[in-house]
A and B are shown apart, each in its own frame.
Chain A
Amino acid sequence: MNITSAQYVTVFGGSDNACIKTTIDGVEMWVPIEAGNRHYDEIMKQVAAGDLTIADAD
């Protein structure tokens, strides 16, 4: 997967991270923070490898 951006999104009206807004293979998507979701697993794999940084929520 070619992941070109990733940023946490907080819960509505709160400050806890709820999901990750990301662009994968040119498609913007919202990925739940859950191991076993293939997009989340790949994001965390690339983060661990130092190839990707997840930006803090706005």
Chain B
Amino acid sequence: MSKAAELAALIGSQSALSNRNLIINGAMQVAQRGTSETSVTSSQYADAPDRFKVAMTTAGTWTVSQSTTSPEGFSNSYKFDCTAANGSLSSDSNIQLLQRIEGQNLQQLAKGTSGAKSVTVSFYVRTNKTGTYTLELFDRDNTRTFSKTYTVSSADTWEFKSVTFAGDTSGALDNDNAVSLDVSWFLAAGTDFTSGTFSSGWASKTDANRVSSSQVNLADSTSNEWLITGVQLEVGEQATPFEHRSFGDELRRCQRYYFRTTGSSTGYGNLATVSRIGNTLYRGVVEFPVTMRSRPSFSSSGSFQTLDSGFTFSSMSGGDGASFDSHGVQVTMTSNGSAGQSTLLRQAADGQAALIYDAEL
């Protein structure tokens, strides 16, 4: 087939030429929480690329990070580096890297209908540990899963992988802002996940069928590492070239789920205008850069000041949370500042203070 014919066939097989990629931050550019976290042993959104969650049970100790090791055309990857091994997994051991997707962003899959669409997951992977790995789609609305394997052939070499999953005519995805689908890369799994008959299509979730019995145990040596980038989930049976988006575009998409004020790394960065409503009580509004997925949880870190007093404090409160919504939030803090109707809430001199809003799935 000529190149032109190949291109025509490829275009004809796809439903969209832009906004194809249903994965957010697939190039691992955005890392609002931080770029590296050590001693990871349990499930969390770690200090590593946004939107990707570590799920982990009894499977060694890890440093996860936003790495600058990447294939040509990319600048970052998500890296797992084993720092304490577990060569003898427990039955419930597992390590997964996953991304959760809102149901309202997946309606084009037509899942649960006679016209259900196939989807293709493509990515670049690099590891010293060659062998068989499992990739899973998990429909959380209907508790259905479909797993497939991919093989890493060459150690310490970036390899491009493409895995296609047939459409599922059972189980429609909810058209709402809650999680509907997990895309999950298994890096290790105990017999609770591997002892059954490995998945051959969409089916009600049976843990024992979720992971291939040939699955690599990436936790078996502190020499092991695994990196991934260029992640794309798209409708269709063929992987198309990775849809690169600008950093600003990806950042805004990530901030729908997690937003951390940045202030100034050199200190005294302004965070909000606040008004004094009591002897030691101030309130202000922090406008979010984008509408968050749902009402977020609030926390803070570091030391703050109010400009009028220069008094440094680290106790920041979410107040009564009465204004928690998906557009902005009040903050309440105690300070012994001087009288005044309004002032600036800012970082202390170390520039480390941040207001944190979390609406992750």
State the A residues within 8 Å of B (CB): 9-12, 18-19, 21, 25, 27-32, 34, 36-40
**Contact status of A25 and B44, CB under 8 A, knowing A12-B322, A32-B296:** yes
B298 within 8 A of A: yes
B319 within 8 A of A: yes
A-B contact pairs, 27 of them (CB 8 A): A9-B318, A9-B319, A9-B321, A11-B320, A12-B320, A18-B320, A18-B322, A18-B324, A19-B318, A19-B324, A29-B299, A29-B358, A30-B299, A30-B324, A31-B297, A32-B297, A32-B321, A32-B324, A34-B294, A34-B295, A34-B324, A36-B178, A37-B297, A38-B360, A38-B361, A39-B358, A40-B297
How far apart are B82's CB and chain A's nearest CB, in angstroms?
A: 22
B177 within 8 A of A: yes
What B residues does A34 contact at CB under 8 A?
Answer: 294-295, 324
How far apart are B357's CB and chain A's nearest CB, in angstroms?
A: 10
Q: Are A11 and B360 in contact (CB under 8 A)?
A: no
Main SS of the interface on chain B? loop
What A residues does B178 contact at CB under 8 A?
Answer: 36
Chain B: interface size category:
20 to 34
What B residues does A28 contact at CB under 8 A?
Answer: 299
Complex Cα–Cα for A40 and B321 (A): 13
Q: Are B319 and A29 in contact (CB under 8 A)?
A: no
**Contact status of A29 and B361, CB under 8 A, knowing A36-B177, A36-B178:** no
What A residues does B297 contact at CB under 8 A?
Answer: 29-32, 37, 39-40
Q: B residues 320-347 with Cβ under 8 Å of A?
A: 320-322, 324
Q: Are A37 and B294 in contact (CB under 8 A)?
A: yes
Q: Are B294 and A36 in contact (CB under 8 A)?
A: yes
Q: Are B295 and A32 in contact (CB under 8 A)?
A: yes
Q: Are A18 and B321 in contact (CB under 8 A)?
A: yes
- Closest partner residue, chain B, to A34 (CB atom): B295
Complex Cα–Cα for A34 and B324 (A): 10
Q: Are A30 and B321 in contact (CB under 8 A)?
A: yes
One digit per residue, 1 when the CB lies within 8 angstroms of any chain A CB and 0 when it does not, for chain B 297-315 equals 1110000000000000000
* Given A10-B320, A38-B358, 20 other A-B residues pairs in contact with their CB atoms under 8 A: A9-B318, A9-B319, A9-B321, A11-B320, A12-B320, A12-B322, A18-B322, A19-B318, A25-B44, A28-B299, A29-B297, A32-B296, A34-B294, A36-B177, A37-B295, A37-B297, A37-B359, A38-B360, A38-B361, A39-B297
Complex Cα–Cα for A38 and B294 (A): 10
B105 within 8 A of A: no
What B residues does A21 contact at CB under 8 A?
Answer: 318
B317 within 8 A of A: yes
What B residues does A39 contact at CB under 8 A?
Answer: 297, 358
How far apart are B108's CB and chain A's nearest CB, in angstroms?
A: 22
How far apart are A56's CB and chain B's nearest CB, in angstroms?
A: 15
Closest 5 CB pairs of A and B: A30-B318, A19-B321, A29-B299, A32-B295, A32-B324
Complex Cα–Cα for A18 and B320 (A): 6
- Closest partner residue, chain A, to B358 (CB atom): A39
How far apart are A35's CB and chain B's nearest CB, in angstroms?
A: 9
Complex Cα–Cα for A36 and B319 (A): 21
Complex Cα–Cα for A39 and B296 (A): 9
